[in-house]
Amino acid sequence: MSTLSLDTPLLVIGAGIMGAGIAQVAAQAGHPVWLYDLREGAAAQALDKLAGGLQALEAKGKLAAGQAQAIAARIRVAGTLEDAAGAGLVVEAIVENVGAKRSLFAQLEGLLSPDAILATNTSSISITAIAQGLKRPRQVVGMHFFNPVPLMKLVEVVSGLETAPAVAEAIHALASAWGKTAVHARSTPGFIVNRIARPYYAETWALLQEQAATPAAIDAALRGAGFRMGPCELMDLIGHDTNLAVTESVYQANYGDKRFQPSLLQRELVDGGLLGRKSGRGFYDHAAGAATPVLNAAPTAPVTGPVEVHGGCAFAQRLADGLRAAGITVEQDIGAPTVGLRWATGRLEVTDGRPALQRAAEAGVADSAVFDWVVADPAAGVRGALAFAVAPSASDSFAAQAAGLLAALGWQPLRVADAPGLIVARTIAMLINEAADAVQQAVCAPDAADAAMKLGVGYPAGPFEWLQRVGVGPVVELLDRLDQHYRGERYRVSPWLRRAHWQARAPQSPARHAG
């Protein structure tokens, strides 16, 4: 089996946005590249456009003088597949159809060297299925890039059941040599990114279904948690038809697992042609001059008496320090089992998955409210919208004081309906849970999951980084509470996460630490 080096000839099949981007990255790394497309003239048009883009980068000083021409000169249009018979690596970026990809690879097996590697840029199709029936299935591997290829750093290296480990390692090393961050993944529905990302959308649809918050409120809360775009504006950008198709594909491939269940609300948007930016309307109106949705500001009122901060963790200390800085008298109970604020007869606590009304009933405290998880890195200084919910039993004056305390701490208080787990907490917990299941099933390693979600979809942190910040106990507790509330399999805790929780709580035998 040949090794791959930066002078290995490459064949890129498919001259669309992805194929042209792959050809550019390979040529920039030094490879001679053939670019082929079944549609006559498409490869030549893509090469002309690519060359123009390179010249623009050179004009801006992002490429050295003469580099644009040198890169473009390494790419040749292949009139037929036979023209590229000397390729040591093929990367196909054709239509997402397993039959078309398998047929193409079968044809290439008769043209290329026996040790040539056949890589597919599929984002969701099983690598094992593509390799079925081929003469050399061990040579077939996934090399999943993200758009735009020249800018996005992540490459998922996906192994099917028969992919040779040496082939996967060769692709991993090559992607790294191209300046990409490569992560190994096992071929399961959605691979890493498209699988772990599902809850970012699914929890939004669940909240919208039960009328817990508006799209603008959900987006604001998750931007406040550090995400560059909220899920509603992101789905409008992606296109609801595209997002629904991926969701349905993952759902069907997992035999109807409720965690991946598509939303009737999204189906309604698609059926109505409200696809997002591409159609001019989705959650939002994207017409020129359309008004930006405005969030209703929660009424605020000052707290006149002292505020008792409960909890002995670093976040509780941040709350105490923030209130003192705002000129509020603070007392602390570092031994309290829950984190939150108490004053007069009321309490405002971090959500643990129970609605404020349930906590009011169980504690016998009418003036009860809960607020969302704060998961942003404290060093980033992120302050934005923070969701909170008030029990229906609470007074209006208490609700205004709760909002006033959050405002005093620097957040924009965002009052939402009293839904279990609010917005950020249930979304982050489910992202962590899905990542834990991926690790449990040997789809990827924890560090690969973190890298993939940060580089592939721009998350502010990886799921296991969030787990470290929040702690395994609160995550498991919140998921269990969601499971108890909704009574379905959707919120079941991953066995990996459950075991980590037990391990964190189990006493350590003295013998483990002996001599």
pLDDT one-digit tens code per residue, 440-466: 999 999 999 999 999 999 999 999 999
Q: Which amino acid is at 93?
A: A
How far is residue 412's CA from residue 466's CA, in Å, rounded to a whole number? 22
Total structural domains in the chain?
2
Q: Check pLDDT > 50 for residue 209.
A: yes
Higher-pLDDT residue of 144 and 292 is: 144
Given a cut of 80, is residue 514 above it in pLDDT?
Answer: no
Q: Confirm whether 141 is domain-assigned.
A: yes
Q: What is the pLDDT of residue 2?
A: 57
Q: What's 137's domain CATH number? A: 3.40.50.720
37 and 173 co-located in one domain: yes
pTM given for the model? 0.94
**Summary mean pLDDT of the chain:** 95
Q: Measure CA 95 to chain center.
A: 24
Question: Looking at residues 387-409, what average pLDDT do you find?
Answer: 97
The answer to whether 504 touches 468, Cβ cutoff 8 Å, is no
CA 314/CA 317 separation, integer angstroms:
5
Nearest to 452 by CA among 144, 236, 77: 144
φ, ψ for residue 235, nearest 5 deg: -65, -35
Whether residue 499 is contained in a domain is answered as no
Residues 29 and 176 in one domain: yes
Alpha carbons within 13 A on the beta-carbon side of 134: 30
In this structure, what token pair is assigned to residue 124?
């969701």
Beta carbons of 275 and 240 less than 8 angstroms apart: yes
Compute the distance between CA of residue 336 and CA of residue 455 in angstroms, rounded to an integer. 38
State the CB neighbour count (10 A cutoff) for residue 220. 22
Does a structural domain hold residue 253?
no
Q: Look at residue 357 and tell me if it is in a domain.
A: yes
- Phi, psi of 181, deg, nearest 5: -100, 110
Q: Percentage of the chain with pLDDT > 90?
A: 92
Task: Tell whether the model's pLDDT for residue 381 goes beyond 80.
Answer: no
The last residue of one of the domains, among 383, 415, 447, is 415
Q: Which two tokens stand for residue 414?
A: 């965002």
One-letter amino acid of 52: G
> Where is the domain boundary, 397, 415, 433?
415
Torsion sign over Cα 180, 181, 186, 190: negative
126-129 contacts, C-beta under 8 A, 24 or more apart: 126/98, 126/160, 126/187, 126/189, 126/253, 127/158, 127/159, 127/160, 127/163, 127/187, 128/160, 128/161, 128/162, 128/187, 129/98, 129/102, 129/160
Closest CA to 497 of 478, 466, 475: 475
Of 123 and 435, the one with more pLDDT: 435
Which pLDDT tens digit goes with each residue over 99-117? 999 999 999 999 999 999 9
Residue 364 CA to residue 143 CA, distance in Å, equals 57
Q: Decide which of 131, 156, 187 is a domain's last residue.
A: 187
Q: How many CB atoms neighbour CB 439 within 10 A?
A: 18
pLDDT score, position 376: 87
Asked if residue 173 is part of any domain, the answer here is yes
166 with 37, same domain?
A: yes
Q: Cβ(116)–Cβ(89) under 8 Å?
A: yes
What is the structure's pLDDT at 339?
96
Q: What pLDDT was estimated at residue 1?
A: 46
Share of the chain residues as helix, strand and coil, in percent rounded to the nearest 5: 45, 15, 40
Q: Identify the pLDDT of residue 488.
A: 87
Active-site positions? 123, 144, 156, 194
Distance CA 92, CA 36 (A): 9
- pLDDT above 70 covers a percentage of the chain that reads 98
**Tokens representing residue 112 in the block:** 């290329």
Question: What CATH number is given to the structural domain containing 367?
Answer: 3.30.750.190
Domain co-membership, 172 together with 315: no
Q: How confident is the model at residue 509 (pLDDT cuts 50, 70, 90)?
A: confident
Does the residue 215 lie in any domain? Answer: no
pLDDT at 512: 62
Q: Is residue 501 part of a domain?
A: no
Please write the tens of the pLDDT for every residue from 302-333: 998 899 999 999 999 999 999 999 999 999 99
What's the confidence (pLDDT) of residue 308? 97
Angle formed at CA 207 by CA 205 and CA 208, multiple of 5 degrees: 65
**Cα–Cα distance between 7 and 212 in angstroms, integer?**
56
Q: Is there a domain that residue 461 lies in?
A: no
Q: What's the token pair of residue 457?
A: 């979809």
Residue 469 to residue 375: CA distance in whole angstroms: 7
Full domain range(s) for residue 76: 10-187
Predicted confidence (pLDDT) at residue 393 exceeds the cutoff of 60 = yes
pLDDT attached to residue 472: 97
